[in-house]
Amino acid sequence: MVLLFSCLIPLCSVGNAQENSGSANSGKKLKLNLGADLVSRYVWRGTDFGNSPAIQPTLSLSGKNLEIGCWSSVSTNNSLREIDLFAIYSIRNFSLMVTDYYVPETNGLPAAPDIRYFAFNDKNTAHSLEASLQYKGDENFPISLIGGVFVYGNDKRWGYDSSKDSTSATYYSTYFEAGYTLVLQDNNLDFFVGITPGAGAYGPRAGFVNLGITAYRTIRISETFELPVKGSLVLNPQASNVFFVLGITI
Protein backbone atom coordinates (compact mmCIF):
# COMPACT_ATOMS: atom_id res chain seq x y z
CA MET A 1 0.00 0.00 0.00
CA VAL A 2 4.74 1.50 0.59
CA LEU A 3 3.79 4.34 3.16
CA LEU A 4 3.84 7.46 1.40
CA PHE A 5 1.40 8.15 0.34
CA SER A 6 6.24 4.52 1.32
CA CYS A 7 6.26 6.27 0.35
CA LEU A 8 7.17 7.11 0.65
CA ILE A 9 8.42 6.52 1.73
CA PRO A 10 8.79 3.72 2.19
CA LEU A 11 8.12 6.06 4.26
CA CYS A 12 7.51 7.88 1.34
CA SER A 13 10.08 7.75 -1.43
CA VAL A 14 10.06 11.06 -3.24
CA GLY A 15 12.42 10.32 -6.11
CA ASN A 16 15.49 12.17 -7.33
CA ALA A 17 15.59 15.87 -8.06
CA GLN A 18 15.93 16.26 -11.82
CA GLU A 19 14.87 19.79 -12.62
CA ASN A 20 14.35 23.16 -10.99
CA SER A 21 11.88 25.76 -12.14
CA GLY A 22 10.94 29.22 -10.91
CA SER A 23 7.52 30.43 -9.85
CA ALA A 24 6.56 33.61 -11.65
CA ASN A 25 4.14 34.63 -8.90
CA SER A 26 6.14 34.04 -5.74
CA GLY A 27 9.71 34.22 -6.98
CA LYS A 28 10.48 31.08 -4.95
CA LYS A 29 12.15 28.13 -6.59
CA LEU A 30 10.17 24.99 -7.25
CA LYS A 31 11.80 21.61 -7.62
CA LEU A 32 10.57 18.82 -9.86
CA ASN A 33 11.41 15.39 -8.48
CA LEU A 34 11.26 12.53 -10.96
CA GLY A 35 12.64 9.04 -10.51
CA ALA A 36 11.90 5.36 -10.13
CA ASP A 37 12.93 2.35 -8.07
CA LEU A 38 13.27 -1.16 -9.44
CA VAL A 39 12.84 -3.62 -6.56
CA SER A 40 13.03 -7.41 -6.30
CA ARG A 41 9.95 -7.35 -4.04
CA TYR A 42 7.52 -4.67 -2.90
CA VAL A 43 7.68 -5.09 0.89
CA TRP A 44 5.92 -2.34 2.87
CA ARG A 45 5.78 -2.27 6.66
CA GLY A 46 6.58 -5.94 6.88
CA THR A 47 4.18 -7.25 4.22
CA ASP A 48 4.96 -8.43 0.67
CA PHE A 49 2.61 -6.93 -1.93
CA GLY A 50 2.54 -8.47 -5.39
CA ASN A 51 4.83 -11.46 -4.78
CA SER A 52 7.08 -10.35 -7.65
CA PRO A 53 9.59 -7.68 -8.68
CA ALA A 54 8.04 -4.24 -9.06
CA ILE A 55 8.56 -0.91 -10.80
CA GLN A 56 7.95 2.11 -8.55
CA PRO A 57 7.99 5.56 -10.19
CA THR A 58 7.69 8.86 -8.33
CA LEU A 59 6.74 12.34 -9.52
CA SER A 60 6.48 15.32 -7.17
CA LEU A 61 6.73 19.09 -7.02
CA SER A 62 8.23 20.75 -3.96
CA GLY A 63 8.80 24.29 -2.83
CA LYS A 64 9.72 25.73 0.54
CA ASN A 65 7.87 23.57 3.12
CA LEU A 66 5.40 21.74 0.89
CA GLU A 67 5.71 18.75 -1.43
CA ILE A 68 2.86 17.27 -3.47
CA GLY A 69 3.22 14.25 -5.67
CA CYS A 70 2.39 10.76 -6.83
CA TRP A 71 4.00 7.38 -6.19
CA SER A 72 3.11 4.08 -7.78
CA SER A 73 4.01 0.40 -7.68
CA VAL A 74 3.27 -2.07 -10.46
CA SER A 75 4.18 -5.73 -10.01
CA THR A 76 5.76 -7.47 -12.97
CA ASN A 77 3.29 -10.37 -12.71
CA ASN A 78 0.28 -7.99 -12.89
CA SER A 79 -0.98 -9.14 -9.47
CA LEU A 80 -0.93 -5.69 -7.86
CA ARG A 81 -1.28 -2.09 -8.99
CA GLU A 82 -1.06 0.84 -6.59
CA ILE A 83 -1.20 4.58 -7.22
CA ASP A 84 -0.76 6.97 -4.27
CA LEU A 85 -1.17 10.72 -4.05
CA PHE A 86 0.61 12.49 -1.21
CA ALA A 87 1.14 15.88 0.38
CA ILE A 88 3.96 16.56 2.85
CA TYR A 89 4.30 19.74 4.92
CA SER A 90 7.64 20.04 6.70
CA ILE A 91 8.80 22.32 9.50
CA ARG A 92 12.39 21.78 10.59
CA ASN A 93 12.70 18.11 11.54
CA PHE A 94 8.97 17.35 11.45
CA SER A 95 6.78 16.38 8.51
CA LEU A 96 3.00 16.09 8.43
CA MET A 97 1.84 13.76 5.66
CA VAL A 98 -1.51 12.90 4.11
CA THR A 99 -1.56 9.95 1.74
CA ASP A 100 -4.29 8.59 -0.51
CA TYR A 101 -3.51 4.94 -1.26
CA TYR A 102 -5.41 3.55 -4.24
CA VAL A 103 -5.13 -0.23 -4.54
CA PRO A 104 -7.88 -1.63 -6.79
CA GLU A 105 -6.62 -5.23 -6.91
CA THR A 106 -4.45 -7.60 -4.87
CA ASN A 107 -3.40 -11.00 -6.17
CA GLY A 108 -5.60 -10.40 -9.20
CA LEU A 109 -8.77 -9.99 -7.10
CA PRO A 110 -10.76 -6.78 -6.38
CA ALA A 111 -9.52 -5.16 -3.16
CA ALA A 112 -12.80 -3.33 -2.45
CA PRO A 113 -16.49 -3.52 -3.43
CA ASP A 114 -16.06 -0.59 -5.83
CA ILE A 115 -12.63 -0.38 -7.47
CA ARG A 116 -13.35 2.57 -9.77
CA TYR A 117 -10.84 5.38 -9.21
CA PHE A 118 -13.45 8.13 -8.80
CA ALA A 119 -15.56 6.14 -6.33
CA PHE A 120 -14.99 7.68 -2.89
CA ASN A 121 -17.84 6.30 -0.77
CA ASP A 122 -16.31 5.35 2.58
CA LYS A 123 -17.98 1.93 2.73
CA ASN A 124 -17.02 0.77 -0.77
CA THR A 125 -14.03 2.70 -2.08
CA ALA A 126 -10.64 1.23 -2.99
CA HIS A 127 -8.98 4.39 -1.64
CA SER A 128 -7.45 4.46 1.85
CA LEU A 129 -6.58 7.79 3.48
CA GLU A 130 -3.77 7.92 6.03
CA ALA A 131 -2.54 10.79 8.21
CA SER A 132 0.98 10.49 9.56
CA LEU A 133 3.65 12.47 11.38
CA GLN A 134 7.39 11.96 10.98
CA TYR A 135 10.43 13.20 12.86
CA LYS A 136 13.85 12.88 11.24
CA GLY A 137 16.94 13.90 13.15
CA ASP A 138 20.15 15.34 11.73
CA GLU A 139 23.60 13.74 11.59
CA ASN A 140 24.18 14.62 15.24
CA PHE A 141 20.97 12.83 16.28
CA PRO A 142 20.30 10.22 13.55
CA ILE A 143 16.96 9.04 14.92
CA SER A 144 13.73 8.88 12.92
CA LEU A 145 10.19 8.34 14.21
CA ILE A 146 6.93 7.93 12.32
CA GLY A 147 3.35 7.25 13.27
CA GLY A 148 0.41 6.83 10.90
CA VAL A 149 -3.27 5.94 11.11
CA PHE A 150 -5.82 5.15 8.42
CA VAL A 151 -8.78 7.48 8.89
CA TYR A 152 -11.02 6.85 5.87
CA GLY A 153 -11.76 4.38 3.12
CA ASN A 154 -10.68 0.81 2.53
CA ASP A 155 -9.32 0.02 6.00
CA LYS A 156 -12.16 -2.46 6.47
CA ARG A 157 -13.20 -6.12 6.37
CA TRP A 158 -9.94 -7.53 7.75
CA GLY A 159 -11.74 -10.45 9.38
CA TYR A 160 -10.52 -9.81 12.94
CA ASP A 161 -13.59 -8.11 14.45
CA SER A 162 -17.02 -9.41 13.44
CA SER A 163 -18.85 -6.28 14.60
CA LYS A 164 -16.64 -4.08 12.40
CA ASP A 165 -16.65 -6.48 9.47
CA SER A 166 -20.44 -6.82 9.39
CA THR A 167 -20.93 -3.05 9.24
CA SER A 168 -17.87 -2.21 7.10
CA ALA A 169 -16.51 -0.07 9.95
CA THR A 170 -13.01 1.41 9.77
CA TYR A 171 -10.36 -0.41 11.81
CA TYR A 172 -8.21 2.75 12.12
CA SER A 173 -5.12 0.62 11.52
CA THR A 174 -2.12 2.29 13.17
CA TYR A 175 1.60 1.91 12.65
CA PHE A 176 4.59 3.25 14.60
CA GLU A 177 8.23 3.00 13.54
CA ALA A 178 11.56 4.04 15.02
CA GLY A 179 14.78 4.12 13.04
CA TYR A 180 18.48 4.77 13.54
CA THR A 181 20.99 5.66 10.81
CA LEU A 182 24.61 4.56 11.03
CA VAL A 183 27.21 5.92 8.60
CA LEU A 184 29.84 3.31 7.78
CA GLN A 185 32.59 4.09 5.27
CA ASP A 186 30.44 6.73 3.54
CA ASN A 187 27.53 4.29 3.25
CA ASN A 188 24.32 4.44 5.28
CA LEU A 189 22.82 1.65 7.35
CA ASP A 190 19.23 2.20 8.51
CA PHE A 191 17.96 0.09 11.41
CA PHE A 192 14.17 0.09 11.93
CA VAL A 193 11.55 -1.32 14.28
CA GLY A 194 7.84 -1.12 13.38
CA ILE A 195 4.84 -2.09 15.51
CA THR A 196 1.07 -2.02 15.30
CA PRO A 197 -0.98 -1.48 18.49
CA GLY A 198 -3.96 -3.57 17.38
CA ALA A 199 -5.64 -5.75 14.77
CA GLY A 200 -6.05 -4.31 11.29
CA ALA A 201 -4.13 -3.82 8.07
CA TYR A 202 -0.83 -5.04 9.55
CA GLY A 203 -1.99 -8.21 11.30
CA PRO A 204 -4.48 -9.88 13.64
CA ARG A 205 -3.19 -8.36 16.89
CA ALA A 206 -0.78 -5.89 18.47
CA GLY A 207 2.89 -6.70 17.95
CA PHE A 208 6.09 -6.24 16.01
CA VAL A 209 5.50 -6.38 12.26
CA ASN A 210 8.54 -4.75 10.65
CA LEU A 211 12.10 -5.24 11.92
CA GLY A 212 15.26 -4.98 9.90
CA ILE A 213 18.09 -3.12 8.30
CA THR A 214 18.57 -1.32 4.98
CA ALA A 215 22.01 -0.72 3.49
CA TYR A 216 22.62 1.97 0.87
CA ARG A 217 25.51 2.16 -1.56
CA THR A 218 26.30 4.14 -4.69
CA ILE A 219 28.02 2.31 -7.55
CA ARG A 220 30.01 4.47 -9.93
CA ILE A 221 29.24 3.52 -13.53
CA SER A 222 31.20 6.31 -15.20
CA GLU A 223 32.69 9.69 -14.39
CA THR A 224 29.27 11.32 -14.75
CA PHE A 225 26.86 8.56 -13.69
CA GLU A 226 26.33 6.79 -10.37
CA LEU A 227 23.74 4.11 -9.56
CA PRO A 228 22.17 4.13 -6.07
CA VAL A 229 21.60 0.60 -4.75
CA LYS A 230 19.87 -0.55 -1.57
CA GLY A 231 19.32 -3.88 0.12
CA SER A 232 16.91 -4.60 2.97
CA LEU A 233 16.59 -7.52 5.35
CA VAL A 234 13.04 -7.40 6.72
CA LEU A 235 11.50 -9.58 9.41
CA ASN A 236 7.84 -9.72 10.40
CA PRO A 237 7.71 -11.55 13.76
CA GLN A 238 3.92 -11.49 13.94
CA ALA A 239 3.58 -13.21 10.55
CA SER A 240 6.72 -15.37 11.07
CA ASN A 241 8.07 -14.11 7.74
CA VAL A 242 11.34 -12.79 6.39
CA PHE A 243 12.32 -10.96 3.18
CA PHE A 244 15.49 -9.80 1.50
CA VAL A 245 14.85 -7.00 -0.99
CA LEU A 246 17.27 -5.49 -3.50
CA GLY A 247 16.48 -2.20 -5.21
CA ILE A 248 18.10 0.28 -7.57
CA THR A 249 17.12 3.90 -8.16
CA ILE A 250 17.16 5.51 -11.59
pLDDT for residue 223 = 84
Residue type (1 letter), 122: D
Q: Tell me how far apart the alpha carbons of residues 67 and 248 are, in angstroms, rounded to a whole number.
A: 23
In the prediction, which pLDDT does 185 show? Answer: 83
Instruction: List the one residue out of 136, 64, 66, 52 whose CA is nearest residue 94.
Output: 136
Q: d(Cα 238, Cα 233) in Å, to the nearest integer?
A: 16
pLDDT, position 8? 40
CA distances (Å), origin 250, targets 13, 88, 121, 219, 239:
13, 22, 37, 12, 32
pLDDT value of position 213 = 98
Residue 107 has a pLDDT of: 83
Residue 232 confidence (pLDDT): 98
Predicted pLDDT of residue 28: 65
Query: How many residues does this entry show for the chain?
Result: 250
**Distance in angstroms (rounded) separating the CA atoms of residues 80 and 66:** 29
Q: What is the pLDDT of residue 26?
A: 44
Task: List, run by run, the mean pLDDT of 10-residue segments along the chain (250 residues).
Answer: 38 34 53 97 96 96 96 94 97 97 92 97 98 96 98 97 97 98 90 98 98 95 91 98 97
Distance CA 58, CA 67 (A): 12
**Run of H or E including 176:** strand 174-184
